[in-house]
A and B are shown apart, each in its own frame.
Chain A
């Protein structure tokens, strides 16, 4: 079956513009996660969805960042008024999300965002 997909693969934008990043999780996975990977760094947790709700938004760095998920499937991460420090690879992951403590997260290929 298909894995996690993300679009676009690469995005170049100008400072101050808004961007939308899309994630399509594995079919049947109810849990969805967004992470950010800055150059030379590990992955930083941003937000977690269970179904369409986001019980854990603790990793969002500022109110310029928001995310939604519709139909328990596709998720969109929106960054408003982008800044140069937002440049990073944004990774999405999904898991079954049913048993609560043992789910392996499967990752998409990421979107590389460059803010000029």
Chain B
């Protein structure tokens, strides 16, 4: 079974600063995908970034980038030049194919990020 651990329940940073959210996972799979989702107070889960495990290059989406360390099973999210709109819960998720053929997402417990004006 896969597990995803987010060890930082809450974080806060000043606007415009850089913040890194941690995520570790445990799996025996070799091919999988990793995701960061953002959940603002509206409850809508929004995809922030995804990383294919077979790719060595770290994914980047504008101000969001990841540090993917496959051997260490670590997948941290870096937010640069943080903005007030980045305030949300951030969930790390691991995707693999279940025995039933579907892509099953396993989520961490989340990190509540607050950007301070």
Contacts and interface: CB of A to CB of B under 8 A. Distances in A.
Given A48-B100, A56-B100, A43 B91 contact: yes
A82 interface: no
B102 A55 contact: yes
B104 A91 contact: no
Contacts of B107: 42-44
B11 interface: no
Contacts, number: 71
Given A89-B43, A109-B42, A109-B43, A45 B105 contact: yes
Interface residues of A, number: 31
A104 interface: yes
A83 B101 CA distance: 32
Interface of B: 4, 31, 33, 35, 37, 42-47, 50, 52, 91, 93, 97-98, 100-110
